[in-house]
């Protein structure tokens, strides 16, 4: 039991370090949020100006913006490590590999949560969608979605951190794996916004939970191999 507590402490130390560096220097957070806002704006131009159509498409647009911005955010968190070969130094510390994964994923989760909340707000405004009424299920969906994207993103960012053509390979490898999450999140969001007419919301949230659990376990179990050289 103490070993798990030690690993948790290490994961928190890594996430804390990422948070300080992120807030203080990188401004990745701000740029990612603006990127998501711009993507939403473009969706408006692409599908607008018919308000009804936009409102109908809102759940899909919301999650597309989150996923695309999420790729940038997770990538930024790992760039933080490669400035001065810090990633290699991190791997040389005598700490459990899954603790490193947990630390990086935790940082990713925090960024994704903030991103999700902001994009949700923007969608509410831009596409005139009443998010107030169903804020509970929507929050749950955003939290579960954030966990999934952070879990998968941290794995693939670690896999491609020293890879050639990394900018293309990260989305190319990551997006197909996120398909079930995108699908579940959009359906859950749509159900929540419509007041869950068919009672499907519970099922979609369960799908998201299953995806998150599987991907976190898979990521933690294999992240160590990505640090090998």
**Where do contacts with another protein occur on this chain (CB under 8 A)?**
6, 9-10, 13, 17, 20-21, 24-26, 80, 83-86, 88-95, 155, 159, 163-165, 169, 172-173, 175-177, 179-180, 183-184, 187, 198, 200, 203-204, 207, 210-211, 214-215, 218-219, 222, 225-226, 228-229
Which residue lies nearer to another protein by CB, 89 or 133? 89
Which residue lies nearer to another protein by CB, 109 or 223? 223
C-alpha angle 198/202/205, rounded to 5°?
A: 125
CB of 39 closer than 8 Å to CB of 68: yes
CB of 13 closer than 8 Å to CB of 93: no
Q: How far apart are the first and last CA of the chain?
A: 30
- Report the distance separating Cα 66 and Cα 60, nearest Å: 10
- Report the distance separating Cα 117 and Cα 162, nearest Å: 31
Which residue lies nearer to another protein by CB, 84 or 136? 84
Least CB distance from residue 19 to another protein, whole Å? 11
CB of 185 closer than 8 Å to CB of 143: no
Which residue lies nearer to another protein by CB, 28 or 122? 28
Which residue lies nearer to another protein by CB, 130 or 206? 206
3-state helix, strand, coil in the chain (%, to 5): 85, 0, 15
Least CB distance from residue 20 to another protein, whole Å? 6
Count of CA atoms in the C-beta half-sphere (13 A) of 22: 23
């Amino acid at each position: 039991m103490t070993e798990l507590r030690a690993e948790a402490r290490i994961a928190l130390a890594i996430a804390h370090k990422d948070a300080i560096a992120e807030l203080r220097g990188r401004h990745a957070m701000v740029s990612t949020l603006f990127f998501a806002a711009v993507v939403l704006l473009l969706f408006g131009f692409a599908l607008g100006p018919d308000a009804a159509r936009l409102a109908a498409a809102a759940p899909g647009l919301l999650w597309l913006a989150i996923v695309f911005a999420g790729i940038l955010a997770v990538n930024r968190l790992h760039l933080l490590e490669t400035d001065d070969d810090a990633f290699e130094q991190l791997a040389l510390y005598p700490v459990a590999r899954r603790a490193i994964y947990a630390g990086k994923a935790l940082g990713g989760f925090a960024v994704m949560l903030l991103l999700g909340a902001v994009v949700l707000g923007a969608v509410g405004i831009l596409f005139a969608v009443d998010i107030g009424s169903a804020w509970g299920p929507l929050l749950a969906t955003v939290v579960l979605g954030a966990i999934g994207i952070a879990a998968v993103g941290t794995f693939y960012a670690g896999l491609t951190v020293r890879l050639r053509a990394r900018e293309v390979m990260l989305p190319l490898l990551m997006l197909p794996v996120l398909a079930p999450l995108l699908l579940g999140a959009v359906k859950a969001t749509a159900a929540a916004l419509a007041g869950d007419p068919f009672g499907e919301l519970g099922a979609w949230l369960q799908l998201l939970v299953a995806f998150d659990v599987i991907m976190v376990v898979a990521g933690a179990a294999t992240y160590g191999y990505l640090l090998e050289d």
